[in-house]
């Protein structure tokens, strides 16, 4: 690697002090990386140094985004950040993935734009028939919370910051309305990103005792707000893991502390919602109930005296553990990106089957769901079935998925057989979303919860404005709608 000839060295022509002396021809400037003491070039451009020309740098086989000296490769592989790390106890492969039924998933399906007018018409008729009886107009539960009042009205905020704060305030208001905002519980934020939703929950709780936060995020995230919370009464724990493999039962604070769990999430993307629901109400809650099928006295009578049994019962009362205590106290998740759902992981398969629908219909309905938020856009789209900005199926640093980051060419009216107006496409997209969400509602009902769908924010703030909430049936009932 040879350094390009630098421009005339006049003032700005020199590299900054302590910086790399390699001139990047493509950028017409010197590299801005820091050079080691006594070195002219940074590690990436060290091969350009005359005394190091004999050493060859190669791409790291674990992560080609960086290079390494060939003669130091063995040593580098042992400490490279991209190396596979030991799996934690709470990692269980595919524990929340659902049953894989390969016979139901077609190997290849043509894009919607390649369907004939008759095929598309049949799909839309199936959608409308399946949606009969469903209330397509959800109730508005647009709320706020005083904890965010000052932040929302901060004049330094831009439009994007204000938009996110309003959504967080409404989610927080809904959590409080469901009486889930209180002490002695564990909030599990799925697709946590920077952790801002948990941040505001903690601020709203003030000095509530025995509050634990578990922030679940698959990818490494910059600018996390977890570090701002070092109070004695609340603990923040971040788990870098895919929800698909997360076993909450193996997390010490939940295994030993008997804290009711509140599952929360802001714009939990597509399939991640199904994985989170299964993680909470199937993997975690069901396992906990199996361990507690017998009454307390019966479970311990063989090795405890009567006095000890009375003492344990008294301790439970003092700890305010309700008689009908359940491991999952509630769920509050803002839904997002239905076009990124996956039939294998979807929790509403049984609901679809009762309607005479299967994997093929689900595939096209999830594609058409994007019409609800993308159908009115006129920006040109690339000629592929799907073009998706590279990111994790959970949340990411942007915290928002409704601003055109996901573009699907199937939403182009010009490419569709027949004639569908923008408004018709929008209505069809909303029906697809509603049907997919209804499958989630029925799943929660079957698992002993009282679920509900509601609009939690004005669509002018976010087009992805539906909130899924659920409480155990013995708690205060809420109606679906």
Q: How confident is the model at residue 320 (pLDDT cuts 50, 70, 90)?
A: very low
**Least confident span in 232-241, 309-318, 439-448:** 309-318
pLDDT, residue 225, reads 86
pLDDT, residue 411, reads 43
- Report how far residue 315's alpha carbon sits from residue 114's, in angstroms, rounded to the nearest whole number: 66
φ/ψ of residue 185, rounded to 5: -155, 165
Judge contact between 434 and 127, C-beta under 8 A.
no
pLDDT, residue 318, reads 43
pLDDT, residue 383, reads 35
- Report how far residue 271's alpha carbon sits from residue 289's, in angstroms, rounded to the nearest whole number: 26
Q: What is the mean pLDDT of residues 44-53?
A: 63
Does pLDDT of 375 surpass 80? no
pLDDT, residue 338, reads 94
Return mean pLDDT, the chain. 80
- Report how far residue 363's alpha carbon sits from residue 340's, in angstroms, rounded to the nearest whole number: 10
Cα dihedral across residues 318, 323, 325, 330: positive or negative? negative
Cα dihedral across residues 387, 389, 393, 398: positive or negative? negative
* Count of CB atoms situated within 10 Å of the CB of 187: 26
Provide the H-helix boundaries in 244-383: 252-257, 271-278, 285-291, 296-300, 306-318, 349-354, 359-368, 371-374
- Report how far residue 430's alpha carbon sits from residue 464's, in angstroms, rounded to the nearest whole number: 10
Question: What does the pLDDT look like over 232-249, one tens digit per residue?
Answer: 678 899 999 999 999 999
- Map residue 317 onto helix, strand or coil: helix
Question: What does the pLDDT look like over 342-367, one tens digit per residue?
Answer: 999 999 999 999 999 999 999 999 99
pLDDT, residue 323, reads 45
Q: What is the mean pLDDT of residues 9-30?
A: 79
Q: How confident is the model at residue 226 (pLDDT cuts 50, 70, 90)?
A: confident
Spell out the residues 6+ positions from residue 276 whose beta carbon is closer than 8 angstroms to its own. Answer: 96, 190, 191, 243, 263, 265, 268, 333
> What b/e readout covers 148-180, taking b as 16+ CB neighbours within 10 angstroms?
beeebeeeeeeeeeebbbbbbbbbbbbbbbbeb
| H helix or E strand, kind and range, residue 437 | helix 422-446
pLDDT, residue 100, reads 76
Does pLDDT of 9 surpass 70? no
Spell out the residues 6+ positions from residue 101 whose beta carbon is closer than 8 angstroms to its own. Answer: 344
- Report how far residue 465's alpha carbon sits from residue 167's, in angstroms, rounded to the nearest whole number: 9
Does pLDDT of 389 surpass 80? no
Q: How confident is the model at residue 41 (pLDDT cuts 50, 70, 90)?
A: confident
Spell out the residues 6+ positions from residue 382 whose beta carbon is closer than 8 angstroms to its own. Answer: 407, 409
pLDDT, residue 104, reads 64
Judge contact between 231 and 300, C-beta under 8 A.
no
How much of the chain, in percent, has pLDDT values that exceed 90? Answer: 51
- Report how far residue 249's alpha carbon sits from residue 280's, in angstroms, rounded to the nearest whole number: 10
Question: What does the pLDDT look like over 397-433, one tens digit per residue?
Answer: 444 454 433 334 444 444 555 578 889 999 999 999 9
**Least confident span in 124-138, 168-182, 235-249, 289-303:** 289-303
Q: How confident is the model at residue 335 (pLDDT cuts 50, 70, 90)?
A: very high
Which region, left, alpha or beta, applies to residue 14 given φ > 0 means left and ψ of -120 to 50 means alpha?
beta
Identify the CA nearest to 363 among candidates 382, 380, 340: 340
pLDDT, residue 48, reads 63
pLDDT, residue 322, reads 43
Q: How confident is the model at residue 289 (pLDDT cuts 50, 70, 90)?
A: low
User: How would you class 447 by CB atoms within 10 Å of its CB: exposed for 0-12, middle for 13-18, buried for 19 or more?
Assistant: buried
Q: How confident is the model at residue 175 (pLDDT cuts 50, 70, 90)?
A: very high
Does pLDDT of 50 surpass 60? no
pLDDT, residue 373, reads 86
pLDDT, residue 404, reads 39
| DSSP tag of 246 | B
Q: What is the mean pLDDT of residues 93-117?
A: 80
């Amino acid at each position: 690697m040879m350094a390009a000839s630098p421009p005339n060295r006049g003032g700005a022509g020199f590299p900054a002090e302590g910086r790399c002396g390699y001139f990047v021809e493509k950028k017409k400037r010197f590299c801005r990386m820091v050079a080691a003491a006594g070195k002219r070039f940074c590690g990436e451009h060290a091969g350009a140094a005359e005394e190091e020309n004999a050493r060859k740098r190669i791409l790291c086989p674990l992560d080609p985004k960086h290079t390494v000296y060939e003669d130091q490769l063995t040593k580098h592989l042992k400490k490279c950040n991209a190396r596979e790390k030991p799996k934690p106890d709470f990692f269980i492969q595919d524990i929340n993935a659902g049953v894989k039924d390969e016979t139901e998933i077609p190997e290849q399906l043509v894009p919607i734009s390649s369907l004939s007018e008759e095929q598309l018409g049949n799909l839309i008729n199936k959608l409308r028939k399946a949606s009969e009886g469903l209330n397509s107009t959800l109730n508005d539960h647009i709320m706020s919370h005083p904890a965010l009042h000052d932040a929302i009205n901060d004049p330094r905020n831009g439009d994007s910051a204000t938009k996110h704060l309003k959504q967080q305030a409404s989610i927080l208001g809904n959590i409080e309305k469901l009486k889930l905002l209180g002490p002695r519980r564990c909030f599990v934020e799925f697709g946590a990103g920077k952790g801002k939703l948990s941040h505001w929950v903690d601020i709203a709780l003030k000095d509530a005792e025995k509050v634990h936060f578990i922030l679940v995020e698959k990818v490494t995230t910059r600018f996390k707000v977890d570090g701002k919370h070092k109070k004695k009464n609340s603990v923040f724990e971040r788990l870098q893991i895919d929800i698909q493999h997360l076993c909450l039962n193996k997390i010490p604070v939940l295994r030993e502390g008997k804290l009711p769990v509140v599952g929360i999430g802001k714009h939990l993307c597509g399939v991640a919602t199904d994985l989170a629901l299964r993680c909470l109400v199937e993997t975690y809650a069901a396992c906990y109930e199996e361990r507690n099928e017998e009454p307390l006295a019966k479970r311990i009578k063989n090795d405890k005296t009567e006095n000890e049994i009375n003492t344990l019962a008294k301790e439970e009362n003092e700890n305010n553990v309700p008689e009908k205590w359940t491991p999952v106290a509630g769920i509050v998740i803002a839904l997002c990106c239905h076009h990124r759902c996956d039939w294998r992981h979807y929790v509403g398969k049984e609901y679809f089957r009762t309607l005479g629908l299967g994997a093929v219909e689900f595939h096209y309905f999830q594609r058409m769901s994007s019409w609800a938020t993308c159908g009115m856009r006129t920006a040109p789209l690339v000629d592929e079935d799907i073009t998706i900005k590279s990111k994790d199926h959970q949340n990411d640093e942007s915290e928002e998925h409704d601003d055109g980051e996901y573009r699907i060419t199937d939403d182009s009216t010009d490419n569709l057989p027949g004639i569908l107006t923008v408004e018709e496409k929008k209505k069809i997209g909303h029906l697809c979303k509603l049907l997919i969400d209804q499958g989630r509602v029925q799943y929660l009902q079957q698992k002993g919860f009282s679920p509900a769908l509601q609009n939690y924010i004005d669509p002018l703030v976010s087009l992805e404005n539906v909130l899924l909430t659920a409480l155990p049936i013995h708690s205060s009932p809420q109606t679906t709608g």
